Structure 1
Amino acid sequence: MLRRLLLLWWIGCLASVCYGADLRIAVDADPISLDPHEQLSEAGIQYSHAVFDPLVRWRQDGTFEPRLASSWERLDQRTLRLHLRDDVTFHSGNRMDADDVLFTMDRLKLSTDFKGLFNVVQNVDKIDDYTVDIHTTDLYPLLLNSLAYVFVIDKAFYQGRAEIIKFGQTFAAKNVSGSGPFQVKQRIAGQKLVLERNPHYWDKSSRGNLKQLELITIRSDSTRLAALLTGDVDVISPVAPIDIARVQSTPDINFLALTGTRIVMLQLNQARRVEFQDIRVRKAMNLAINQALIVEKILRGYGEAAGQLSADAFAGHLSTLLPESDLAKAKQLMAEAGYEQGFRISMMAPNNRYMSDERVAQAAAAMLEKINIRVDLKTFPKAQYFQLFDQRAADVMMLGWQSDTFDSNNIFEFILACRDQQSGLGAYNSGGFCDALIDQGITLANNEMKPEQRERILQGIEAHVAAQALVIPLYWQPIIWAAKAHVNLASVVNFLNFPYWGDLEVRE
């Protein structure tokens, strides 16, 4: 009888995917809540891809793959028609249709973090239950890029209790009904998130065979690595640079490193410090920081020293803008500005958000000391740090930014634009400046459909930012994972570091 049951199970597995594998992943930070629209962060988007579905998503080759939108076409230069899947069921049992998409788009425009991606969307019209038209106020070449961040939510489940409060205890922060490959089984904030397979998931073509996925928060790099080596977890991310050699020399451990486009920077708050309003001081601080040394000594050669915000894959990148370190020139500029004796500043950074972030902050502070800028450095866990960042609580603050649209202008909109709470522009500008030239360039680039002309506009913004020394670019952070040999990470991890765990097929 047992043999017959096993045979029937095996035959069934030939016809469809059999879910049986459990995976334990140790990460350095967890999403701040279960609300997919509360914070635009790497941990949040990784979570959303597991529990929700976007309208479209990035393939590993940089093209777009249909998800909840099965197809699309341009009706005119300002209208995109989306055809929705008609076989999608939310975890609540409710069917997904056009009303859910309209509800989601309206909600995204209320999110402090996400609304900047959708300012250009004028309105969304329901044509029928499974067709919607998206109208933009102007020409916009990156609409599909933005739609990759539309994680559709269940209108019937959330309506009347869809309030978004960043770091708040809302209904959506604690309750969830997505359409993704996994459902939330358990969450202990700051400790673990347990997801179980959605048995009614619409994507029958996926070969993913995970039955349960457990995301465990381990902030310590060494403890995270120890958990992998002892078999307590199957996957870890990130791998600290100091541990890479050990991982690579360990049998039965796979190592994956990808070139990243997340730019890690220091922002100088001109509204808090009159000294930072002097371009000579800002230039001196830029010259005092040795980005190449940080990459070599702290990141162990992984990552790339940055002299600008745009990665070389982005249209705004300028090959002539290289990182420059010149201590003698930095001291000369400080003297010319009347600050040869220096001054004291406050600086804040996270200690579990970016690769070796605390050590990088300590190194940057030590480098600034060499031009007599004495730094009172404080570091905090990610959840606490970003509340302080939103308050602009220090003179210098560290930030890493992954362009959500894989484009320079996304960085400029969120980091450099004048702060506007209504539009969401400048939401992560802690520099305390408002530069009309940058805002004009952002608008021009958003409305320019010709790639060559758009590239020139974006490069002009990048050159202006460098000339004014408005921020201190540090490095582009690499994407580094390690896993047991039976886990093929390369099949699901992409250049944005948004793993599609629902598609992971684990060898048992």
Structure 2
Amino acid sequence: MDPHLQFEEKNDNIHTQIFDLLLKMDIDGNPAPNLAKSWTRLNERTVQFKLRTGVTFHNGEACDARAVKFSIERNISSKTNSPSYHVLSSIERVDVIDSYTFNIVTKHPDGILLNRLCVAGYVVPPGYIRNVGNTGFEKHPIGTGPFRFSKWIRGSELVLERSAAYWGSPPDVGRIVFSFADSRRRVDLLLNGKVDMITDFDPQSISSIEENGFKTIKEPSFSAVTINFNLIKKGSPFQSKKVRKAFNHAVNMDELIAKVKMGYGIRRATLGVPGEFGYNPYIKPYSYNPERAIELLRQAGYEKGLTVSLLVDDTFGGASNPVALELKRQLTKVGVNLVVKGGNGAMLLVESRRKANAPPFQADLFMRTCPDAMAHIIFREGIVVYDSKSPWSLVNCPNLDRLLSKIIHTIDPGKQQKLCYELERMVHEECLSLFAYQEIKLYAMPYSINYEPHVTGMLNLSEAKVIGD
């Protein structure tokens, strides 16, 4: 439960109830005040922030500029080994000006600093952590968020209580119990009255849920399914652009969305989605053309077909994921034998990139969902997936790295937008992924709960309202 030691959507949905970020995304996907109430760019490398006054952590400790300095330095320290280090890696230092004023100085001009702070700018209590240590903090987290930690039964449930000292509008909900269950069991828990809200369930359950008197919400989000080719594996067939292009022509993604997702997905030409800064609306998806796919495979030396492995992250259903099984069925038609496996792919990938003597990442493709809490095209297509320095990257493309660096160094939004369009074109033309679809997030709950999903897809349960008793 330490926000500096975890970087997964399911964990962040809990973190954002207990902790606050320096900035947050507004309803339109723009950086907005949160713990930091205002900011001013002093020069190309320095931004000055003003904190809200009077904010305290759940234990009464002051949330001030020193806490911000401690939090950011803790996150980017090599001793912490934070999985979100890469998100804040442009920060050189934090200078405390007074109790509620601080400057963030970056190593170079950073045009996405504010977006970074919306993702990884969690503020934690320095005094409490020095007292109980990192292990104690992980077991009993303390933040400034709308809910405070109460109880955690690992693998079963996590209980949070409304914080009476919360600096913002008090939540309508007094208690949150997170129950941990797979997508099928979630539906049973809802129908049997064991939980009040579920997300990310099988769309084939929608009719059953609605027939039992519950409402469902279907909302396009900044989350996308990523199916990434392993371009750094020695001897990988995907080092050939013709093979990557063949796979994009071989899959009927519209059919997959209709059949497996019951239409609750929107096909995309890259990893970008509308609403993200830098999204290029002029790029069209690859056409479904199995004959062209077979010809491209022949040209690449695979006229007799090939066998490749797909690792599906356990957070996305593992080896039994129906999207993966449909991919396997479709690819068979062009002579591809797709071997589907499950596992903690994100952990295996990070360890292969960052741990000495760790085995290389062996899967030929890696599939998972990837939200964009940064609301900027560079999050998925740069910081997470394609930047060769990213711990989650399976790509090593110097031209792309140079373009990513140029985007980050560009402070002017208009110029940055044009460069992002160029990035989207490069990603598409190089076929760096098997491009799939934008997720339509699914939510189900009783009609007595009023909840409006956020565009990023992250849960903001402090905004949920309970109607009547």
1:310 aligns with 272
Cα 1:505/1:275, change in 2 over 3 Å: closer
2:201 aligned with 1:239, yes or no?
A: yes
CA–CA separation in structure 2 for the residues paired with 1:473 and 1:354: 19
Task: Tell me how far 1:465 sits from its aligned partner.
Answer: 2.0
1:369 aligns with 332
2:158 aligned with 1:188, yes or no?
A: no
2:15 aligned with 1:48, yes or no?
A: yes
Q: Is the 8 A contact 1:112 1:427 kept in 2?
A: no
2:127 aligned with 1:156, yes or no?
A: yes
Task: Tell me how far 1:453 sits from its aligned partner.
Answer: 2.5
For residues 121-270 of structure 1, the aligned pairs below 5 Å read: 121-149=91-119, 150-159=121-130, 170-203=135-168, 206-221=169-184, 223-251=185-213, 253-270=214-231
Post-superposition CA distance 1:87-142 (Å, at most 9, x none): 12222332221111001111221354322222222221100111111122333332
Task: Tell me how far 1:43 sits from its aligned partner.
Answer: 1.6
Of 375, 395, 400, the residue aligned with 1:406 is 375
For residues 292-307 of structure 1, the aligned pairs below 5 Å read: 292-307=254-269
- Gaps spanning 5+ residues in structure 2: where? 353-360
2:19 aligned with 1:57, yes or no?
A: no
CA–CA separation in structure 2 for the residues paired with 1:308 and 1:89: 42
2:364 aligned with 1:395, yes or no?
A: yes
Cα 1:416/1:487, change in 2 over 3 Å: closer
Task: Tell me how far 1:450 sits from its aligned partner.
Answer: 3.1
Task: Tell me how far 1:207 sits from its aligned partner.
Answer: 4.4
Cα 1:219/1:439, change in 2 over 3 Å: same
CA–CA separation in structure 2 for the residues paired with 1:246 and 1:119: 46
Task: Tell me how far 1:479 sits from its aligned partner.
Answer: 1.4
- Gaps spanning 5+ residues in structure 1: where? 1-33, 164-169, 421-425
Q: Look up the equivalent residue of 1:124 and give its one-letter code.
A: V
Determine helix, strand or coil for the equivalent of 2:434: strand
Task: Tell me how far 1:356 sits from its aligned partner.
Answer: 11
Post-superposition CA distance 1:52-77 (Å, at most 9, x none): 11112222233444322233223334
Cα 1:317/1:249, change in 2 over 3 Å: farther
CA–CA separation in structure 1 for the residues paired with 2:67 and 2:366: 38
Which is higher, the Rg of structure 1 or of structure 2?
1
Post-superposition CA distance 1:247-266 (Å, at most 9, x none): 34443x22212112222121
CA–CA separation in structure 2 for the residues paired with 1:132 and 1:458: 30
Q: Look up the equivalent residue of 1:410 and give its one-letter code.
A: F
Cα 1:126/1:496, change in 2 over 3 Å: same
Cα 1:82/1:466, change in 2 over 3 Å: same
Q: Is the 8 A contact 2:224 2:439 kept in 1?
A: yes
1:428 aligns with 392
1:499 aligns with 459
Task: Tell me how far 1:45 sits from its aligned partner.
Answer: 1.9
Of 87, 110, 114, the residue aligned with 2:84 is 114
Q: Look up the equivalent residue of 2:216 and give its one-letter code.
A: F
1:287 aligns with 249
Q: Is the 8 A contact 1:59 1:65 kept in 2?
A: yes
Determine helix, strand or coil for the equivalent of 1:376: strand
Q: Look up the equivalent residue of 1:116 and give its one-letter code.
A: H
CA–CA separation in structure 2 for the residues paired with 1:112 and 1:434: 22
Identity of aligned residues (%): 25
Task: Tell me how far 1:211 sits from its aligned partner.
Answer: 1.9
CA–CA separation in structure 2 for the residues paired with 1:356 and 1:69: 43
Cα 1:489/1:475, change in 2 over 3 Å: same
Q: Is the 8 A contact 1:57 1:65 kept in 2?
A: yes
CA–CA separation in structure 1 for the residues paired with 2:199 and 2:318: 10
Q: Is the 8 A contact 1:52 1:180 kept in 2?
A: yes
Post-superposition CA distance 1:420-460 (Å, at most 9, x none): 3xxxxx2211x3x3111111111111122333332221222
Q: Is the 8 A contact 2:315 2:368 kept in 1?
A: no
CA RMSD of aligned residues (A): 2.3
CA–CA separation in structure 1 for the residues paired with 2:219 and 2:46: 36
